[in-house]
Structure 1
């Protein structure tokens, strides 16, 4: 069961139901002291902002009863690169957070396009060396965390500083993941339940560290989106498949590339899915 995702979806009669306009927003009420899972250490929490849901409820299609296959949930968080469904639905995920283009945010909000953000603290706050692919952008660090609050999308974990996790020991990996979760919680009021390792690189220590930080699944991808909205497939047939998870980045020209990508996906007969709802149905 995906505990953290219950904040966004409920199950009724075997079907996933998205809470709509009448739903009451969950208010995070931090305790004076909180124990980090698996660490045995207490840390003092800070008051967090109340999550502000869309008045229309989350965007994207949700699964029908019995549509989604089961993802095995073992002792460690599962590593997921696609959702087990036969429906022509794909999922959009966006990494890092360097380029904070208001034109992209406007598209997502006005068209109610479902996206899931995997935020890296140093990118969102534009500190330290900037990703070379983000150079030349007009909006690097332009809005900070407020940009992502206004975006209205789920904000998940992509570490503090974007290291290759395999180069770190357990303690170093835990510091990156738990530190990013705390940063997101302080700013967004919701603690991440999903983690994407930088470069897609991970090992068993990554999964152990992620679990100790409250992460319930590690998300990879089946295709990445390049400049111009071009899709780079990881499958031999070079096609979209039901349940594919697509990877984008907050880089220059994202607003333009995103328009091209969404049109391309819809022309091929695919819908855009609500990732939280599908994961909830699969990890039962």
Structure 2
């Protein structure tokens, strides 16, 4: 179920390794979950960074998001009139230590959607924001540090394929395989899913639901290099309830700092996505 799934994690890792992210060719390996390199110890429970990770909804603030046919709802924005937006980040190529520090020290609410091949640096790095410096720097250890800073680690498939072009069984291997791996590496099984390229069909929703996914998350604006917001609405401005999509790209810490300042200058708060989804999507809705 949605509400009340608190993420708990191990103590913050002492050292951030350096490596980098890469834009990977999709592997047709049946989506089997696996770890790269030597065998790793299972994730153990620890202490998550204390304190609020973003504003929570007020009573009666959030409108209802309704699912149909027992499938996970597809959510691109949160129905609220409050000036609050939600930060999300995809893939896992550029594992910038400054990004983790900013989230941890400033308690900035963020939700990460991890893709196995990016986290494990299998492929060509995404260098659209500049030269990559931290490709696969800590691999899953980096994502455990994000987890310990209060960031839920959610599902973005194993190999980043266009799911809308795949059959049900193949989609299920991609989604369930990623959830199994993330559970093994972080100690918590994802309940949110972001389809690569935003591409999905009814089979995707069925597959996601069978893998324990409660909602499929899209977005209303993307964050480009330099912290620039690319809007998908004609008036080119933030709107209450917007879900912003970032990527683990070069200069991530710098761009993230610019973005957060820009959002706050415009009078918006950063929201706790989980709390708002809990308010909007209720069992039986």
Normalised TM-score (structure 2): 0.83
Matched ranges for 1:142-221 at <5 A: 142-151=137-146, 152=149, 153-221=151-219
Question: For structure 1, which runs of at least 5 residues remain unmatched after alignment?
Answer: 10-24, 28-42
Partner-residue secondary structure (3-state), 2:134: coil
Residue aligning to 2:123: 128
User: Which is strand-richer, 1 or 2?
Assistant: 1
Residue aligning to 2:261: 263
Contact kept, 8 Å, 1:96 with 1:123, in 2: the verdict is yes
Distance change in 2, residues 1:172/1:5 (3 Å): same
Contact kept, 8 Å, 2:125 with 2:132, in 1: the verdict is no
Match of residue 54, structure 1, among 34, 48, 68: 48
Show structure 1 runs of 4+ deviating over 4 A: none
Residue aligning to 1:245: 243
Task: Kindly tell me the number of residue pairs found equivalent between the two proteins.
Answer: 250
C-alpha separation in 2, matches of 1:182 and 1:58? 28
Deviations 1:137-180 (A, max 9, x none): 11000011111111131000000000011121101100000000
Residue aligning to 1:140: 135
Q: Does 1:94 align with 2:89?
A: yes
Deviations 1:195-220 (A, max 9, x none): 00001011111111101111110000
Q: Does 1:67 align with 2:65?
A: no
Provide the aligned C-alpha RMSD in A.
2.1
Deviations 1:231-283 (A, max 9, x none): 00001111100000000000001111111100000000000001011001111
Question: For structure 2, which runs of at least 5 residues remain unmatched after alignment?
Answer: 11-32, 34-39
C-alpha separation in 1, matches of 2:144 and 2:3? 18
Contact kept, 8 Å, 1:99 with 1:134, in 2: the verdict is no
C-alpha separation in 2, matches of 1:257 and 1:101? 11
Distance change in 2, residues 1:135/1:262 (3 Å): closer
Residue aligning to 2:275: 277
Residue aligning to 1:84: 79
Distance change in 2, residues 1:53/1:59 (3 Å): farther
Contact kept, 8 Å, 2:9 with 2:47, in 1: the verdict is no
Deviations 1:8-53 (A, max 9, x none): 39xxxxxxxxxxxxxxx699xxxxxxxxxxxxxxx9xx98423444
C-alpha separation in 2, matches of 1:54 and 1:147? 15
C-alpha separation in 1, matches of 2:193 and 2:144? 19
